[in-house]
Amino acid sequence: MLTVLGALIVAPSAAAPAQVTQVKFTTDWIWQGVYAPYVVAAAKGFFAQEGLAVDVDRGTGSADTAVKIAAGAYDFGVVDLAVLVEFNARNPGKELRAIGVIYNYSPLSIMTLRNYGIATPRDLEGRKIGAPAGSAARVLFPAFARAAGVDKERIEWVTVSGALREPMLVRREVDATAPFIDALLTLKGLGVPTENVVVFHYPQYGLDLYGLGIVARPETLERRPQVARGVMRAIIRAWQYSLRHPDDMVEILATRDPLIRKDVEKERFLLAKERLVLTSEVNAYGIGYASRERLYRHIEVVTETVGLPRRIAIDDLYTGRFLPPREQRLPPR
């Protein structure tokens, strides 16, 4: 666990805050390049300059992170917005709220290897796809199948853990997997060149979904609005810093897990930067922003695909009122 005390790490130009607020924060997955900015926010003093002493932990999946935040184990965390729609629809009275979108495009995908004979989505029919039971890419596969013209009834799903998913693909124990797109770098770490991987990225097939966002309980936002604003300011600054300084970012990440391959995790981050983070919407409106039109479509796709018991309102999924002004959240040019 990483604890940063506001009184200890403060930029020379910033006045030390009069009071330090303790905050517990968790990602939704292991220490990889795409989660490095949250460690950067602590290590570079961005949280501290907001008067926050933030414990940053790693997670084990968006669904688990949502449950832990709802239970009060964490104040803020990283959750996929598709998972958040389902969680809120199934847990009335325990809903969570996204206060900033980090992945402007969904990272959901289907991956296979070039020599497995799967060149188009329709070639998946009659094949085995490996994925954890509750993974977002698996849950939303029917929407992808509908958009790509795939008969979802002809897919055989193999339930695997996230840690075993890519190794099983390499051993051809499954024909394809349903991961985030940055699994390209996991495969690279297993010795598979990127050019040997076939990727069907959900947004390329018309699924205009958001990806990971920063989430909290509504009561946290109501009782501690300044904390929420400080968290978002610090996280956006950390993303801006990481986009400018990916080499320093990965060095900071290695302080959390010395066993990471720095070259792979830097490349993973740069892949997310190009494919998921720096979109035309982000370049126009800044990191954290989400449009109501896209949020409406996001809720519609998830609700219909999963068969949820109710359709949640946009305002029950996301609020932008804790974001800093647009000029403070624009990505570096």
pLDDT digits (tens, 9 = 90+) for 151-206: 999 999 999 988 899 999 999 999 999 999 999 999 998 999 999 999 999 999 98
- Residue 4: the pLDDT is 39
Q: Which residues of the chain are modeled with pLDDT < 50? A: 1-14
Same fold across 2-104+210-329 and 109-205: yes
**What superfamily does domain 2-104+210-329 belong to in CATH?**
Periplasmic binding protein-like II (3.40.190.10)
Per-residue pLDDT at 155: 98
Closest CA to 316 of 330, 295, 294, 297: 295
The CATH homologous superfamily for domain 109-205 is Periplasmic binding protein-like II (3.40.190.10)
Strand partners, 213: 79, 101
Q: What is the sign, positive or negative, of the torsion defined by CA atoms of 286, 292, 296, 299?
A: positive
**What is the spatial distance between Cα 83 and Cα 106, in angstroms, rounded to a whole number?**
12
pLDDT computed for residue 17 by the predictor: 54
At residue 6, the pLDDT reads: 38
pLDDT confidence of residue 70: 97
Cα distance between residue 263 and residue 268, in whole Å: 9
Distance from chain centroid for Cα 172: 27
278-286, Cβ contacts within 8 angstroms, sequence gap of 24 or more? 278/104, 278/243, 278/331, 279/104, 279/105, 281/104, 282/104, 282/331, 283/330, 283/331, 285/326, 286/236, 286/323, 286/326, 286/327, 286/328, 286/329, 286/330, 286/331
**Calpha distance 238→39 (Å, rounded):** 8
Delimit the domains of the chain by residue range.
2-104+210-329, 109-205
